[in-house]
Amino acid sequence: MTTISNNQWVEATVIDIATESPEIKTFKLKPTTLLPHVAGQHYELRLTGDDGYQAARLYSAAPVSDDPTVLCLSIQLVPTGEVTPYVHGNLAVGDTVEVRGPFGRFFVWQPDNPAPVLLIGGGSGVIPLVAMLRAHEKSKSTAKMHLIYSARTFDDVIYKDMLLDMANTTITLTSKTPKDWMGESGRINAALLAKILADFPTLPTCYICGMSPFVSAMNELLQSLGIPLSSIKTERFG
């Protein structure tokens, strides 16, 4: 197999579907051509109706497979949307879709970057950040990396197998917490950020991803704690 321009649509077969949370499913796709990516990048997924109508959406590459021939997308259901209700409700193993990519050159992490990194994700905004965490874990990087993940409830936490046992991950639940919950609760505030920043040897590069109001709030908190704008990378949706 050869690699091609990220502008070209490639056919891909659904080989596995896993439920991550009530709203998020992970689709493992086998494209007919390799489309290698860097942690943090995304792909475009296109559906074609019987009448030829097409719609495409961008989704972050998900960190759930080490097989370079498999492309994984964790997709959140948007009930009022056009594409995700079909993807969640109709797409089955064996079906084909089209993909192209990867896209994005700024909100990425490369293993040769020696700077310490703080990742802050809200909801499904955690997907590209966990991809970076996973890439870091698999690399020889000695840079410090820490993830703060804000989810509504324990059920909403995705990639539980990966994240619950990770020393460099802090999960906070904003809506309700199980009785035996050992993590943080409530929204990410200055005190929590200051506590985690205190463990960094030097000021980290910060990646924030989530809904727009979340990203704005985190951006302001980090700046108030002395992180310069030039060290903050953001990706927003909604």
Which residues form the interface with other proteins (CB under 8 A)?
Answer: 5-7, 11, 46-51, 53-58, 80-82, 86, 90-91, 95-98, 103, 105-106, 208, 212, 215-216, 219, 229, 232-234, 236-238
Work out how close the CB of 8 gets to other proteins at its nearest, in angstroms, rounded to a whole number.
Answer: 8
Q: What span, in angstroms and rounded, lies between the C-alpha atoms of 89 and 130?
A: 25
Cβ-based nearer residue to other proteins, 89 or 201: 89
Smallest separation (angstroms) from other proteins to the CB of 126: 18
Number of H helices, E strands in the chain: 5, 12
The full DSSP string for 134-183 is HHHHHS---S-EEEEEEESSGGG--SHHHHTT-TTEEEEESS---TT--S
Nearer to other proteins, 74 or 219 (CB): 219
User: Closest distance between other proteins and the C-beta of residue 86, in Å?
Assistant: 5
Q: Which two tokens stand for residue 112?
A: 């040769």
Considering the complex, what minimum distance in angstroms separates the CB of residue 88 from other proteins?
Answer: 12
Residue 16 vs 44, nearer CB to other proteins: 44
Q: Where are the beta strands (DSSP E) in the chain?
A: 10-19, 24-31, 42-48, 54-60, 71-76, 96-103, 117-122, 145-151, 169-173, 184-185, 205-211, 232-237
- Whichever of 48 and 177 has its CB closer to other proteins, that residue is 48
Q: Least distance from C-beta 77 to other proteins, angstroms?
A: 14
Closer residue to other proteins in complex, CB, 182/229: 229
